[in-house]
Structure 1
Amino acid sequence: MKQLVKIIVFMTVCILGISVLPWAASVPVIRVDAKNKTGKDIGVELGRLIIDRFPDIAKSVDSYLESYSSQDRFNYIVRRRLDAVRSSVDRRYRDEVDGMASLLVSSDRNKIGDGVLSSDEFWFFQLIPDIGRESSCSGFGVFGECSASGGPIVGRNMDWFTTEALRGIQAITVYEYEKNVLVNIGFAGYAAVVTGFNNRGLFAAHLDSPMGLPYPDPPQRMHSAVFEIRKALETEGSISRAASLMRRQRYPFSHNVLLADTRDVQVLEQVRGEPGRLRSAYSPVRIDISWDKPCQIAVVNFFALRGYWNHVTETCRWRRFEVLAVFDRYHKAYPGDVMKIMLDTKTVCYDSIFRDRTVQSMVFTPEDRKLYLYTVPVSGVHPPNPVMEEVKDLIP
C-alpha cells in the first residue's frame, strides 16, 4: 500500500508539475506577530527575526545595490526621487522600515558597495519599483467554467534583475494581525509587496509597464505602488475594493497589478497620471493584439485595454499565453495546468514565459489559499525541470 502511495505521488509530480511532498519550498518563512503592535514594534521584531535567519543581510542588500546602480545614479535618485515617494508611504509602514533599519543600518554615509547600509540605501531597496523600476514579469489566470474547481487559479512569474546576494535572501514574510494575515512573497527585509495575498483570498502582484514617459522631474509627491499594494492586501478582500483603493493615486511609473479573489482574476492597468482601469477577461483589447479567451486572462509588461496606444513591440509572451489558454467548460484547468504554463520555456519570436531571469514562479488558488512556489537557486541557474512546491501552513 505504501509503495502504491509513493507511485501516485511520483506520477502527480511528473504529470502536473506539483510537489505534494510533505516538506515546504526551500524559501524561508518569517512569521511576525503584528497583533496590537505599532509599526516600529513590528519593524524591530522583524529585524531581529531576519538577522537570526540572515546574519549578513545588510551586506547582501548593499551588494545588490552596488550591482543595480552606479554611485552617481544612486546619488541622483536619492536626491531627486527618494523623498518624493517615501513621504507618501503610510506612517505605519515608514515606522516599520525605520524599525528594521534601527537594527540593520550602521552607517550615515551613502556609499554603495561598502558592506554596510545607510538609511537611504535601505529605503532605496524598499522603493526600487517606484524610483528605479524593475520589469519583465507576467501572469495568467483562469476562473469560472474554465476552472475544474470553479474557483480562480492565478499564476505569476517575477523576472527581476538579481544577484547571488539578493537570491540568497529570498523569503516569505507572514504578518499576523488581529483579524487579517498578510503573506508577502519576496525578500527578507522587504516591507513593500511585489507579490502577496491575504487570509481572505485576495492576491496581488506588481508588474512594470513602461510607456517611454520620463520620470516626473522636478519630482512631485507620488505614491509608492508597492506600498499601496500592501495596504490593499491588509484592508480589502475583493478585486473591486482593492482596485478602488489603488486606482485613485498618482504613481511615478506606469504599471499593472494582477489581482485575484475568490471569484475572478483581473488586471488593474495604471497609466501614470491617470486613474487606473480594470481589465477583465472580456474587456476589448487594443487592435494590434487579440484575446478571445473566455474565463482566462493574461498580463505582461504592457497595457492591453483598447484605447491605449501601442507603447511596446514586445508581444511574444502575450502570443504564447494566447496559444496556451485552451481551457473551456469541456477542458477545465487544474493548478498543475497553470503551473505548466508559467514554467513554459518555448521561445516565441525571441522570448519565453519562463525565463533565465525568472526569480520566482508561483500559482495561487484563492478559495483554499494554497500557494505553489518555485524560487531560483542562489546560483541563478534553473534546474533542468523546475518544480513548484506547495508552501503549507502560511495562513494560521
Structure 2
Amino acid sequence: MNQKTFRRSLVCIVAVGLFSCCGKHSRSRDNRTPDGSGVAAGDSATAAGKVGEVSFSAWKKGGIYFVDATVTNPLQHKAFGVKLGTWVKKVFPEYEALLDGYVSLVTGSKRTYEAFLGRARGMSSRLPRHHLQEIRGFASVFGTGENKPGDGKLSLDEILFLNLLGDVARGTACSVLAATAAGARDRSPIAGRNLDWPNPLGILSKLHAVMTIRTRGSLVTLVGFLGHFGAITGMNAKGVFGAILDSGTGAPLVVKDRRSYFFDLRLALEQSKTARALASSMAAGTRRYTYNHLIFTMDKSDIMVLENVVSGSGHRAVRMPDSLLNRGVAWGVPNFLAVVNSFVLKGNPDNHSDSSHNTARWTKLLSFAKAHPAISAQDMRDAMAQKQGTRPGTGDVLNDQSLQTIIASPGKGTMELRVDPAHGEGGFMTVTVNPVP
C-alpha cells in the first residue's frame, strides 16, 4: 500500500451488535484479576501507584494494554498523563520510535507533515481542558519539543496529531448493527462494533488499549489505542455506550475553529446519563466539527444513531429503528438498527447508494437481523464475523482492516473485546464497566 492510498483509506467500522467471532475463538475472558485489582501475577508488565491525587495502575494482558486511573483533583489530569507516559516508556521502549514512524507514514511528505501538525496544534485549544492536560503530561515524558519527522522521537505536536488524526486527516469508513430489548434474546439492548483501520506494518496491532478514568462523579472506559485520550468507542458507568463512524459526502474537511468529535464524545460520555442526552450534546449547533460523521449510542433502554451532517446539505438528527429513510434504502426490521458509513435518514444527503462497500455491509446486516428476531450475544459475534470466502475483504462486515470487535451490553455494564479479529487469533475478553462508588 503506498502512502497516498493509505491516507485515503483510513477506515473505522462500527457495528452495533456486530462485535463478534466464531466457534473456537468465542471464549470469553475477564480483564479483572481475582482480587479485583486488575494487576495480576504473570502479566508481562504491571504498575501501580499514586501521583498527587492520581491513583494509577496499568498492565498488559492478552495483547491489550489496560490502564485504570482515578483523578479526584481536576488539577491532576496532567499528572495522570505523566504517569501513563512514564509507564509506557518503561514497558514499551520502542513505542516512541514506532509512533514516530507511523506519523511519517501517514503524512508522507514534509509539507503534509507540517500542514497536519499545524491543524492539530490549532485544534488543540478547543479540546476540553482536562483532556489537553493529559496529552501534555503524556508528551512531556517523550523526546523533544522539536518537530522533526523520522527522528525516532515524539514531540508534543506529533502526539497532538496522533490524538487528533481522526479529525484532521480523514478518509475513513464504519458500520453498526444493534437490537432493542424487544429484539434481544435476554430482553436487554445489545450492540456490536467492528473498528476498521489501515494497519501498515501491523503497528496498531501493538497498541490495543482499554483505559478507565474515574473522576468525581463519573467513570468512563475507552477502547482504543495506547496514548490516545479521545473516545473511539466507550461506555460510562450509567451504561451509556458511544462509538464513532465516519460518513463522507464529498464536502471538504474544515479545521479552522472546529472541535474534535473524538474528544467531545469522551466529554459526552463523562457527562451523560442517557443515550438521548449524549446524542443531544453531540448534535448541538454550537459544536462545529471538521467532518461529517455518525455517533452510534445506546443505553439500557434505547438504541440510536446521530447522523451528524456538519457540512454541506442535510441536518443533524437522530435515527431510530423506525425512522423514515431515504428512497431506495430498505430496512423495515422492527427493533433493529444498522449503521454503515452513510447517511440514510430521510432528507439527508445520499452517500449510501453509490458505495458498494456500504450497500454490501448494509445488506448483510439486514439479512442477519431478519434471520435473528431474538438475537443473542453469540449471534452478534456471528454477525460481526460475516465475510465471503476464506479471507475478509471489501464489502465484508469482517474485512481485512478490522482491528477490534466489540459486543456492548449496557444492561450488564460490559464490553466484550476481541482484537485483530481478521487474523482469526484469540478470543473475547470481557471488560466490565463498574458503577461509580
TM-score bin (small chain): 0.7 to 0.9
Q: CA deviation at 1:387?
A: 5.8
- Which amino acid is 1:351 matched to? G
Q: What is the RMSD of the two structures over their aligned residues, measured on CA atoms? A: 2.3
Query: Is residue 317 from structure 1 mapped to residue 368 from structure 2 by the alignment?
Result: no
Which residue matches 1:271? 309
Q: CA deviation at 1:35?
A: 2.4
Among 234, 239, 252, the alignment partner of 2:275 is 239
Which residue matches 2:418? 374
TM-score (norm 2): 0.80
Among 334, 337, 341, the alignment partner of 1:301 is 341
Structure 1 unaligned regions, length at least 5 = 1-12
Q: CA deviation at 1:132?
A: 0.5
Distance of 1:192 and 1:323 partners within structure 2? 34
Query: Is residue 68 from structure 1 mapped to residue 76 from structure 2 by the alignment?
Result: no
Distance of 1:286 and 1:16 partners within structure 2? 40
Which residue matches 1:188? 226
Q: Which stretch of structure 1 is more off in the superposition, 168-177 or 204-213?
A: 168-177
Distance of 1:21 and 1:109 partners within structure 2? 43
Q: CA deviation at 1:22?
A: 6.1
SS of the residue 2:211 aligns to: strand
Query: Is residue 284 from structure 1 mapped to residue 324 from structure 2 by the alignment?
Result: yes
- Which amino acid is 1:311 matched to? N
Among 49, 66, 71, the alignment partner of 1:29 is 66
Change (3 A) 1:162 1:349: closer
TM-score (norm 1): 0.88
Query: Is residue 116 from structure 1 mapped to residue 153 from structure 2 by the alignment?
Result: yes
Aligned 1:43-82 pairs, distance under 5 A: 43-70=81-108, 71-79=110-118, 81-82=119-120
Aligned 1:351-370 pairs, distance under 5 A: 351-370=395-414
The 8 Å contact of residues 25 and 389 in structure 1, kept in 2 or not, is answered as: no
Distance of 2:216 and 2:24 partners within structure 1? 37
Query: Is residue 344 from structure 1 mapped to residue 344 from structure 2 by the alignment?
Result: no
Among 124, 135, 153, the alignment partner of 2:190 is 153
Structure 2 unaligned regions, length at least 5 = 1-20, 32-60
Distance of 1:112 and 1:388 partners within structure 2? 37
Which residue matches 1:262? 300
Distance of 1:207 and 1:22 partners within structure 2? 27
Q: CA deviation at 1:395?
A: 2.7
- Which amino acid is 1:247 matched to? A
- Which amino acid is 1:156 matched to? R
Change (3 A) 1:103 1:154: same
SS of the residue 2:217 aligns to: coil
Q: Which has the higher contact order (CA 8 A, sep 6+)?
A: 2
- Which amino acid is 2:399 matched to? R
Q: Which stretch of structure 1 is more off in the superposition, 46-55 or 20-29?
A: 20-29
Q: CA deviation at 1:394?
A: 4.7
Change (3 A) 1:349 1:194: closer
SS of the residue 2:306 aligns to: strand
Distance of 2:405 and 2:276 partners within structure 1? 25
Query: Is residue 125 from structure 1 mapped to residue 162 from structure 2 by the alignment?
Result: yes
- Which amino acid is 1:64 matched to? Y
Which residue matches 1:221? 257
Which residue matches 1:3? none
Change (3 A) 1:327 1:278: farther
The 8 Å contact of residues 265 and 282 in structure 2, kept in 1 or not, is answered as: yes
Q: CA deviation at 1:238?
A: 0.8
Q: Percent identity?
A: 26
Change (3 A) 1:25 1:393: farther
Distance of 1:388 and 1:326 partners within structure 2? 27
SS of the residue 1:340 aligns to: helix
Distance of 1:279 and 1:14 partners within structure 2? 30
SS of the residue 2:221 aligns to: strand
Which residue matches 1:175? 213
